[in-house]
Structure 1
């Protein structure tokens, strides 16, 4: 009787292990999750995790093990980027006039509206003008909002650059007046007045290991190679650029997607992160889609101009955060990853995100471990198997012998 009971317990234990391995065995790595004491929690992904995870994090799974029971934990992966919303303000143009200080355009909005941005569009393609912006509540007394604000447009065979956006602190008036100092009358095609609100995301500073700058005279370019400490999220770059004169230079930011060996050493393939213009009129700050990167290449097109003085850069990235629902807080939980064939999971909580509590406590993601349950074996190609090679050779010899015998008999 006792022997039968032991056999049953052993069978149940082996069956439980088999079920657990079946669910977790296709993932190479795991990290224990500690501190689970409620249903909903959040956790921040550590930087050293990005080296082994799949692009897009499709292989992320959270499993909870309680004895022989294994449950998959539904989660949402969020990146805390800036949330920018723009609301256009309805307005009408009252008049257009000129005076000794330039050309005036007056606009009226229904009610007192708060605005912080005006986008202008002109028929002219090449200009360099100074702008003054004022606000009034009675169309009589005017208050200064912007003074000697520069707008610029340059279009030729080399450059197509415009800076015609007026940005300022929140201003609440019923009337707005734009004065443009120009030797000829501007042909204003459109003016979009709007209010832009930004909810700041959560950023972390990104350190770089090396910053190598090269001014290539033959290609008339400045190329900067930046090596980071490892793969990390990246979404913001500020380039410290100075010059004795105003400048506007086409430039692009690229990140390395992979590498390959050549006679000249290791070379890299790159993909674009950002393409635009670095200018003395705008802050040299650039935002782009949060991307996992370990190496950057920044290329500035100087044309026939003197290279800019570049004294380093600042990098930031939005953190990735997991929001998960732990239905069995007493289970032992771990984050599994490292499955190249995995596809992104589909969880219902994505459709009910509004019902997730706002204030969530954080749990910890531990150090990386090799998953002992990982059971995928790499099969060798058929022709690397010596047995198959001997069989193939014997078959060829038999066929050659048969054809030779047939020819001799004929």
Structure 2
């Protein structure tokens, strides 16, 4: 009998642990734009989802109309800035033709693989010059039309290190370009002055000043085209403002302003103190209430510090400086506390508390003609483990998902749940009791087995 109990108890525990099904209490339809083919869809999470989901969003699912789970990727979008990268290449096979009025004409045809240029540069070794240049374009190399306004290339090294030998080009689809340089041979005055003096006795009878003027051609080493390539640069995680649920401030006996803040469990990363007070500098500490375990045990919340900073505002004549933001690692909690050290100074007049934090999105592949919904708020739901390698690759390759929005929140119709054995087995006191009983049963079994062995040894042998 004892042996049977020892075998049956582990089986009962395992069966009870696996028999529980996690119900999700809330759902929201996902309003996806009409689509004719498979598409990436991103659903931003909002305050309702944050308020009802566990840390790490373990109890969040995407389902289709049939109730089947759809694999999704939970991501935090990044803030990006667009930079411009310049790509230069030497113009292929330029054709030159001197003009009768003293100018120079350069004709260039782009090669098949060349992109449309956004500008061009005339590389020259010359210094101290001004040169007027015009650019024309043609779709066929025969009919020419002006491309932009005439430009002046210059080098003022004589006065300052200022130089420009490039021209911006307006957008065009033409592949033939003609550059016209006016007065390709220019006169340049020498920096040196030749002075001749004639003396008669000790007196100057004649003075002659002579300036040398050099006729210098505008030498062009090469013509380069420029193509602008936009590039994206990640500046950090995307942030957004999250209105708080409310706050209350009090003054305690330690000359501190205590601000109790309530939120809806948004993924916050900063608080900003809104105050009309001026000319102050105070130390502020942000704490979060670890209230979940305390509420279960019926105890008061325990406060844990997550950040500290100096908030300040200097406002005197032309001196304007302020720092009112306190940043901290991403935290999801219902209750926060900011403690401001006033010492003997009067407390600040707090008008509001502004909160900001990270943005979260659920990204998945949506099929044409299919409807989807978010389901969440399931106690004890394990975190899903989906194969999202394909989704990551699509996003990394630059495929931007279509933005969808969650609809109104509704409570799901959930059948009455049977007693959940897993909750009973997760109780430490019950586990200790069960283990103690099993140890006693095992001890009794070993004791009885030893008695039987001893009884067998004492049986007399047959003669």
- Normalised by the length of structure 2, the TM-score is 0.45
Q: Which has the larger radius of gyration?
A: 2
Larger strand share, 1 or 2 = 1
- Normalised by the length of structure 1, the TM-score is 0.50
